[in-house]
A and B are shown apart, each in its own frame.
Chain A
Amino acid sequence: MREQRVLTQFLQLLLNGAMAGTILAVPAIGLTVIFAVLRFPNFAVASHATIGAFAGYVANVSLGLPVLPAIVVAFLVAGLVGLASDELILKPFRAAGFITTAIGSIALTIALENVVRFMFGNELRGYDLPLMRDWRFAGLRVGPQQVENLAIALAVTAAIFAFLAFTRAGKAMRAVADNPTLAGIKGVNGETIARTVSFVGMGLAGLGGMLLGLDTSIDPLTGFRAILSIFAAAVVGGLGSVPGAVVGALVVGIGEELSLLILSPNYRSAVGFLAILLVLTVRPRGILGQRAY
């Protein structure tokens, strides 16, 4: 009987982890796709996740939109802010090299986070969701909102894969990530691709931010709290690899949940950091990535 309970507890964590991981995949894909094309780790993903979460909040609570349209709002607002911030602030840094751009992205993320804080204050806010009872099966429980979040995350991930695999713009993006000079020679407009990836990547960050907050609450630090896990997911899977981001997110999501067996919940981000360290020491290119050096 006791083994049953331990097994159930383990399975519950596994389930929670798989669901959390699928949701984590969304901003992780955003980060990795920006890295693949623009070649620098964009720490501003943190603030764009927050911006998306708050944009969705305004759409949901102030404008009364249900979850799905609010999610679209989150994506669009974060994407547009991402496009603007890259165009106006980060693009001029790219000629100066990736360290300058990375530092610039940290400054940018702090600036944007504070804009949100200025507008909304520090209090925790929750979305306006219908109250629903948890579903139970086989001794496991899962909330319907969680399932909806999962479905949204899966749909978005599938859409991104389809975009990259089947559309002309998606293939052009992969070409630029693979060999930017050759892509330029063959006629791909690097500028347009950069703008597209900034919009899509940050849009995904914003969408992810809202998904992360739907289940709990949001505040200006929502994105910042998640950033280590997002980076861990991308690095574990291989920075620059979109399928890698998905795999990495599942590994990190499940890993963080399973770590609850031995660590306090506050240490979640430490798990992310350990994962990054482990991967970079043992297999720097990640699970599916190409090169790390």
Chain B
Amino acid sequence: MENYLIAMAVSAGLYALMALGLNVIWGMAGQVNLGLVGFFAVGAYVSALLTLKLGAPIAAGVLAGALIAAAVGAVVSLVTARLRGDYLAIVTLGFAETIRVVASNEIWLTNGTDGISGIPGPWRAALTPGEFNLFYLCLVAALVIVAFALIDRLAHSPFGRVLRAIRDDEQAAAVAGKHTLAFKVKAFAFGSAVLGLAGALYGHYTSYIAPDLFLPLLTLYIKLALLAGGVGNNRGAVLGAVVVVTFLESTRFVVPLIPGLTHVQGAALREFLISAALIVVLRLRPQGLLPEARMHPVLAKEQMAAQT
């Protein structure tokens, strides 16, 4: 049982990392990103391939995963620099789907839909499964804390202030002489790096990745986490991740209790509950579940635009 709880906590930690990454891209820089799972997948595949096929040390693989994801994020950001929000939404979604399609088809590289198994984990051979679990939890927790500290620092730094200025009124920021493109790209790249990091960590934890794990549903979970905790709020990101994972896992318990459901129906019901939960949270408290949450500027600005 405790193994299960630890695994759940690791999940929550990875989600928290991704939510923090999204916070930089969306909460601070105001860039819509519906293709989170694509950057997650890039990090996972890069690290898995480097460590498994080329025998690189795990730390190097993880670092490479984060860096390559950052580079991809920079490219996506550059290419979509001048696009309006809804076009950015479509392109990022398409990007994630394309990553999945490429992963499914380039069998020579990714093993296609069979996925890559046997991804090494740090000291996995030397530890019992229980010990490995615990160790990994500490690792992920430590990284979450580091990421949190870094991103919080970023938010309060001059860089963070410029990002928020760009988010709130890009034209004004550009007129004030800020190189808005460079800032947006850096923010996108940084957020993507964190997403890629989470992906790499995921691969080394579960030792198996496959394209079907990287569905838009995952992007939705992260969005839900951020919305539940409060967009732009770093503590909220972590809290939201915990809430989402708890909810996800609890459906895993509740659904089998309903009699007469096939396996497929159970899975469908779970996904339905999660998407319904997102709709409910979006409707009732788009500003998040934390009591002191205020309406975040990205959501408030949108609201004003919608009313004119």
- Contact at A277–B94, with CB atoms within 8 Å? yes
Q: B282 an interface residue at 8 Å Cβ cutoff?
A: yes
Q: A272 an interface residue at 8 Å Cβ cutoff?
A: yes
Q: Tell me which of A66-74, A97-105, A162-170 binds B.
A: A97-105
Which residue in B90, B104, B286 is a CB contact (below 8 Å) of A100?
A: B286
- Taking the closest CB of chain A, its distance from the CB of B221, in whole angstroms, is 11
Q: B272 an interface residue at 8 Å Cβ cutoff?
A: yes
Known contacts A110-B271, A114-B271, A122-B264, A97 near B90 by CB under 8 Å: no
Q: Mark A102-141, 1 if CB is under 8 A from B, else 0.
A: 1110111011001101100110000000000000000000
- Taking the closest CB of chain A, its distance from the CB of B22, in whole angstroms, is 12
- Contact at A281–B305, with CB atoms within 8 Å? no
- Contact at A102–B268, with CB atoms within 8 Å? no
Q: B126 an interface residue at 8 Å Cβ cutoff?
A: no
Q: In the complex, what residue of chain B is closest to A46 when comparing beta carbons?
A: B216
> Which residues on the B side are within 8 Å of A284 (C-beta)?
82-83, 87
Which residue in B86, B267, B268 is a CB contact (below 8 Å) of A98?
A: B86
Known contacts A95-B306, A114-B271, A43 near B93 by CB under 8 Å: yes
- Contact at A273–B34, with CB atoms within 8 Å? no
- Contact at B216–A269, with CB atoms within 8 Å? no
- Taking the closest CB of chain A, its distance from the CB of B86, in whole angstroms, is 5
- Taking the closest CB of chain A, its distance from the CB of B303, in whole angstroms, is 5
- Contact at A96–B302, with CB atoms within 8 Å? yes
Q: A75 an interface residue at 8 Å Cβ cutoff?
A: no
> Which residues on the B side are within 8 Å of A34 (C-beta)?
none
- Taking the closest CB of chain B, its distance from the CB of A101, in whole angstroms, is 8
- Contact at B306–A97, with CB atoms within 8 Å? yes
Q: B193 an interface residue at 8 Å Cβ cutoff?
A: no
Residues of B77-116 whose CB lies within 8 A of A: 79-80, 82-87, 89-91, 93-95, 97-98, 101-102, 104-105
> Which residues on the A side are within 8 Å of B32 (C-beta)?
99
Q: Mark A22-53, 1 if CB is under 8 A from B, else 0.
A: 00000000000000000011010000000000
Which residue in A92, A107, A270, A276 is a CB contact (below 8 Å) of B275?
A: A107
Number of cross-chain contacts by CB at 8 Å: 137
Q: In whole angstroms, what is the CA distance A272 to B272 when docked?
A: 28
- Contact at A111–B275, with CB atoms within 8 Å? yes
- Contact at A41–B303, with CB atoms within 8 Å? no
Q: B181 an interface residue at 8 Å Cβ cutoff?
A: no
Task: Kindly state the interface size class of chain B when it binds its partner.
Answer: 35 or more
Q: Mark A139-172, 1 if CB is under 8 A from B, else 0.
A: 0000000000000000000000000000000000
Task: Kindly state the interface size class of chain A when it binds its partner.
Answer: 35 or more
- Taking the closest CB of chain B, its distance from the CB of A32, in whole angstroms, is 12
Chain B interface SS verdict (over half): helix
Q: In whole angstroms, what is the CA distance A118 to B267 when docked?
A: 9
Known contacts A97-B299, A99-B32, A276-B90, A266 near B105 by CB under 8 Å: yes
Q: B307 an interface residue at 8 Å Cβ cutoff?
A: yes
- Taking the closest CB of chain A, its distance from the CB of B5, in whole angstroms, is 27
> Which residues on the A side are within 8 Å of B268 (C-beta)?
114-115, 117-118
Q: In the complex, what residue of chain A is closest to B93 when comparing beta carbons?
A: A43
- Contact at B264–A121, with CB atoms within 8 Å? yes
Which residue in A93, A111, A272, A281 is a CB contact (below 8 Å) of B282?
A: A93
Q: A280 an interface residue at 8 Å Cβ cutoff?
A: yes
- Contact at B85–A231, with CB atoms within 8 Å? no
Q: Mark B216-242, 1 if CB is under 8 A from A, else 0.
A: 110010010000000000000000000
Q: In the complex, what residue of chain A is closest to B96 when comparing beta carbons?
A: A273
- Contact at A292–B84, with CB atoms within 8 Å? yes
Which residue in A102, A117, A276 is a CB contact (below 8 Å) of B91?
A: A276
- Contact at B279–A107, with CB atoms within 8 Å? yes
Which residue in B83, B105, B274, B279 is a CB contact (below 8 Å) of A267?
A: B105
- Contact at A107–B80, with CB atoms within 8 Å? no
- Taking the closest CB of chain B, its distance from the CB of A144, in whole angstroms, is 32
Which residue in B91, B265, B276 is a CB contact (below 8 Å) of A277?
A: B91
Known contacts A99-B89, A100-B286, A293-B84, A118 near B269 by CB under 8 Å: yes
Q: A195 an interface residue at 8 Å Cβ cutoff?
A: no
Which residue in B85, B102, B216 is a CB contact (below 8 Å) of A106?
A: B216
- Taking the closest CB of chain B, its distance from the CB of A75, in whole angstroms, is 25
> Which residues on the A side are within 8 Å of B282 (C-beta)?
93, 96, 100, 103-104, 107
- Taking the closest CB of chain B, its distance from the CB of A264, in whole angstroms, is 6
Q: In whole angstroms, what is the CA distance A32 to B105 when docked?
A: 31
Q: In whole angstroms, what is the CA distance A96 to B281 when docked?
A: 13
Q: In whole angstroms, what is the CA distance A149 to B18 when docked?
A: 44
Q: Mark B271-308, 1 if CB is under 8 A from A, else 0.
A: 11011101100110010000000000011011101110
17 A-B residue pairs with CB within 8 Å? A41-B89, A43-B93, A95-B303, A96-B299, A103-B34, A106-B220, A107-B220, A108-B275, A111-B272, A111-B279, A114-B272, A114-B275, A118-B268, A266-B101, A266-B104, A277-B79, A292-B87
- What are the 6 A-B residue pairs with the smallest beta carbon separation, nearest first? A97-B302, A273-B94, A117-B268, A111-B275, A114-B272, A114-B268
Chain B residues with CB under 8 Å of chain A are 32, 34, 79-80, 82-87, 89-91, 93-95, 97-98, 101-102, 104-105, 216-217, 220, 223, 262, 264-265, 267-269, 271-272, 274-276, 278-279, 282-283, 286, 298-299, 301-303, 305-307
